[in-house]
Every structure is written in C-alpha cells, then in structure tokens.
Structure 1
Amino acid sequence: MSKNTSRVPAYRLLTQLAFLALVTTAAIRHQLLGGGPDGSASIDALCPFGGLETLYKFVASGGFINRLYYSDLVLLAGTIALALIVGRYFCGWICALGTLQELSRKLGQRLFRKRHFVMPAVADKPLRWLKYLVLLGTLYLTWQTATLIIRPYDPWAAYAHAFAGLGEMWAEFAVGASILLLSLIASVFYDRVFCKYVCPLGAFLGLTTKLGAFRIRRETDACISCGLCEQKCPVNIPLMRRDVIHSAECIACLGCTTTCPTGKRGTEHEGKSFLHNTLGRFKVSPGWLATLGLALFLGTLGAAKLAGVWQTSPATLTEVVSTDGALDPANIRGFMTLSEVATTFHVDLDTLYRELGFTQDKVPPDTPCKAIRQKLGVSETEFDTQRVRDAVARLRQPE
C-alpha cells in the first residue's frame, strides 16, 4: 500500500469532520441570528435534496418551494456531477448525517471491541428497498402539494434545530428527532442504518451512480480472499463475489481499496493493489479520486458564487411569507418580530396585540415570535409561533 493510499482514511475523516463542523456552525448561526434578509441561511437552504424537491416547481414556474433557494439547486447539481463521475462521494465524504452515523459506529466498535455486526440478510435485503419508496413518496407528495412535506420527519432538520433547545426541536420535529436518535443508536451496532434503509437522497444518488463512470474492479486471480474489504465496507457490499463492483449502495468511501493488503510494503506486489478504483477504462488511485471528488464539489459551489446564483436566503420579508405571490400567514417564521409581522401583512400593530391577548409593555414589538413565550413566562405548549400565525390569519379574513 503506497504512502499516498495509506493516508486516505485520515483525509476522509478530516473532510467529514470539516463539513460536519461547517453545517453545524450554519445551524447554530441560524438559531442565533434568525433567517430572512438580515439573518443566516437555514439548513433547508443547504440541502441538495431540497433541490430535487423544488425542481418540479422551478421548472414549471421558475419559483421555489417555501424555504428553498438557488443554493439547493446548485448543491443538487454538484452531487449529481459527483455521482456521475466519482460515485456517491457526497454520501461517503460530505454528508454530515452520514458522518454522525459513522461516529456512532466508531463508538460501538470501542464499546464492543471492534466486533463486526451485520444485519441478517432476511431483514437487510427487503429493507434496502425502503429508501426508494421514501424517495418516490416524498417527491410525489412534495410536487403535488408544493410544500416541504418531509420536513417534520427529516432527522437532519431535527439536528439543526436542536441548537434552539430540545423543547423547540421536539415540538416541531418530534418524528424527525426520533428517527435521528434511533438511527444513531442503531448505528452503534450496524453501519449507516439511515443511509442504507431510509435516506431518499441516497436512493436518488444511487440510481444516478449506476449511469456514471466509477467502478471498483477486483483481479480475482490475484485476490488472496482475506475478506478485509468486505469487513471494511460500511454498506456491506459482497465484494468477494464480484469482479466488477458497480453497486448503487457504494458510497465511494474507498475503504475497500485502501484496506486491500495485496499492495502493502514487503509483499510480492508492493505498491500494486488488486482492488482498483476505475473511471471508465482508467485506474485511479484512492488519493487522486479523493482529491478529484472534493475539487468537483467545491468547484461547483465556487462557480455558482462567481456567477451570482448562490442564494441561501430571501431578499425581503415579503418573499419569506409569500406563497405563489400571495401573503400567507402560515409562512410566518419564529425569527420575525411582531413589528415585522404587522408591517409585512399590513395589519394594525395594536390590533394584533389585542388579538394575541397581551400588551406592548409585556412583549415589546421588537420581540421575535419564538421568544414571546419567554417574555410571557410560559411554556412552548402554552404559546408558540403558530399562535401568531393564527392571529394574523383571523385579522386578514374578509369581514
């Protein structure tokens, strides 16, 4: 195994932790600063699956599903480019939810002395199809309703809102938080449970990868059948049974090709592994493939910023609360102040206060909707942003 190849697992871990830190920082900033024109991007605007969810509406009308922007389409384009060239690199190197699951698995390996758990085939095989059903169901319902219908069930959205407090996360994302917690617990024993069985983005990228150039090839006459590649594979691909691996499940982590012992120092074939990464007809070292994937992804984002199409937040509050050009009280966000709500929806501020049942002395007009309960000294179950939405909806009803 060459020195370059031996360093790839460490490079991968550093890359994963860097992207996890970036999106976690973005989530924290959004909770501290809020969204809107003067705030920080929400996690919804930083998700490639959001691009797929809003694609139908964008093509049909040039608009976006609420909470989604050009950044989602750029990220979608970047992940598709990766899938067509270097496989599911996004899943194996960039996706923060995948990284959280891998960290859970590393904890499990320490707790259980690196014991290798494998899901029984009788459960594993049918469960693999579940993510494709989730993909089809999510896209159908999202495109039919033009809303982020999956959002309450999204474990990544739940993670991002954990920094607003467990109470708020549980109130809005009880199902998503449960899926996140169960996925992380299950990943202590089994690698990447959510990725293998539930993730709709993984399902989409897996199908896209089947059209791409990335393959793993095994020289069967030289393979020593040690089985280390299969033990290292986080998605349990039966590598020993195939000469060419072009599986939709492969996340391009390169664990198999960097683990293969046939090219290690002191062996007959030092520096030459018999498990190869290939792009079309060309063999590519793990180090070069890792670099190419990162360059493609960051290059896509950089080109979008230079072209001026990287947008992660709305230009005005009117854009925040509008649905198909009409003001919609259901879109009022927790970061909006009562004054901003009244101005944006053209309702009298004093009338809004009367409708809500408290005074400006107790809750100043510059109070964000999500902070009203602290001013009132009540729990979230007693007052939340939905109360403001309902009040504005009542005030805007024709008499």
Structure 2
Amino acid sequence: MYTSEDRKLALQLLNHSVELKKGENIMLQLVGLNGIGLIRALTEEVRNKGAHPFIKIEDPEINRLLLEKGDDHFWENQTETDQLPLMKQMDAFIGIRAAENIYENSEVPKESNRAYSQKFLNPVHFEERVNHTNWAVLRYPSAAFAMNAKMPTEKFREFYYKACLFDYNKLEQAMKPLEELLRKTDLIELKGEGTDISFSVKGQNWIPCFGKRNIPDGELFSSPIIDSINGHITYAPSVYQGKPFEFVKLEVENGVVTDFDSSNNSALEEILDTDEGAKRFGEFSFGLNPIISEPMYDILFDEKIYGSNHLTLGNDYEIAPNGNESNIHWDLVCIGADVYLDGELIRKGRQFVKDELKGLNPESLV
C-alpha cells in the first residue's frame, strides 16, 4: 500500500511540519500519480489523528491543458467558485509535486501564465494558503527526477529520504547564531566567479526554516531593501515555468535588472517583462541543508544547497516584506560566493569561517 519511508515522511509532515491537530481540516494535493503511496500514508495518519483530509489528485497533462486554454475569466471562476472558498476552510495544506516531466509547461504562452498567476495562484495560494494555513510542499522521487540529479534511481531515492528526513531540530539550533548576526547586519556582499553584488538588509525580518514549510528544508531568508541592490550575479542551472536555463547572469542598478544574459534569453526576457516587479527582488536567503550539494533543476532542493544563496526575482513574502509585488517568484541560486556582512567575511566559498557559524558546515550537522 505504501513504503515504510513514506510512512516516516507522512508522520514528519503531519507532526513536525504542519502540526496537525484533532478536528482540523487539511488539504492533501497530489500533482501526478507517482506519489500516490505518500498520499495513502498521509490519509491514513490524518484519520488516525481524528482530523479531516480533503484529497485533490491532479494530472499534470490536464493541468497543462487548463493552463494553455485558461484566461482571466476561467481562473477567476475557478478561484471564486471552488478553490478559494475551500482553501479558506483549511487549517493545513500539504502539496506533493509528483509530475514526471519538469518541462510539461514549457510551451504555455506568457499571457496564459500571467492569467493563472494573477487570478488563481496569487489569491488561492500566496494570499490565502501561505498566510492562513500551516502548509508544506515537496517533490516526490522518480526515475525522471533522478535523471535531472544525474543519479541512479535507487541512489536518488536514498538521497531523497535522507535529505527530507534530516534532523531539523539540530539545524534549528545551529541556525540561531547566524539569525542573530543577520538581524544586526546592514550590508551584505556576495563575491565570487561572475558575482559581485551588494545590498542592505537593515531592519529586515529573518525567517529560519527547519522543516515547517518546504521539504527538504534548510534555509534562512529575508528580503533586501528594494532599491539597495547593485552589482552583478551569476546563477546555477534553473527551471522556471517549465523553461530550462543552464545559467542566468543579471546586472542590477538600484534594485532593478538593467541587463541580462542566459542560455535562453528569449524566455528570460519574457519572464522579466511579466510586470514591473519581475525586474526587482523579493527575497534573499542562505541555503543550509548539509545533504544537498549540487543543483538538480528542482528549486525545492536547489534553494537549500549548502554554501548557496538565492536572490529571488519577483514577489516578496508577507512575513519578510520589502514592498515588491509581482506575479512571479523565481528562486535563482548562486553557489559558493564569499559572503561578507558589514565588511566581515563570514563564509569563504561554501564553508562558514566565523567561529560561531561553523556549526552550519556539513561536517557539523551530519
């Protein structure tokens, strides 16, 4: 019916991530049938707790058809008739992304993506689900996922559960000195190959992430002062809206992207032209999961790579705002840049060098 690993993951999601209680409503969403075992485990454990599961199982190809043929009126109707009223009744949400083909939506037109984001994704998920439920989202392992990670299928499965079932309580404690330091920081600088960029985070809120929302987890995020960002930055491979990028380079002046280069410039230009906020930044984060070392074209993993940072194009988060509003939120990852806080080197490449932060290095956590 389901594996022992899926039962362990289900229990961690329910007990640690969303802290589900008796009598609460929880939406369990599965996109792609590959993760059906985990949904079965979750459903059983939800009922064992005396809570109420609401199951949504979606086919990625049908979702693509809806994206391609949807418009403002279609997504407004989906939101107002079904999705938003239901989400407002949820205390918790777990979303499992189990599609086999990460490029399924690569040919969806720009206007269709805009309509979906503006009329459905933002009101249902970013505004209601993110702000008013205990939620967690994750991918599910598959042979296709293993291919993107350049691993044998079984080795990838082992890696997946190791990364997801990591001791997040230990990571929570190790993050505290960095969080305290960042709350007192004004200027952050990233310097490395193809990267020399600086920005202010003075007075900004910092959010430690240790298995409560994204699985696998391991990041500490905030947002930069919106007009303080200057310099250039080079990012690792990424996939956004089903479109692959082997690299992305951005030139930034006073918080606005002024020039760019990538392996797919026509797609990048289209994304940057989504709206005014798409050329600005809404998040900055440290990746801190000691199990995840290389990009695998999946942002839920890639943004947690140890020794990485992501400086995110698009919308901010209400919990750590900087005033940027956009229909996109693209977590682009920069790996291995030296990090300076108010002129002091705290991370050399991928290793923290400041004594109180060395507990975040992989050899201290694993």
TM tier, shorter chain? under 0.3
Which protein has the larger Cα radius of gyration, Structure 1 or Structure 2? 1
Structure with the bigger RCO (C-alpha within 8 Å, sep 6+) is: 1
> Which structure: greater helix fraction?
1
TM-score normalised according to structure 2 size:
0.24
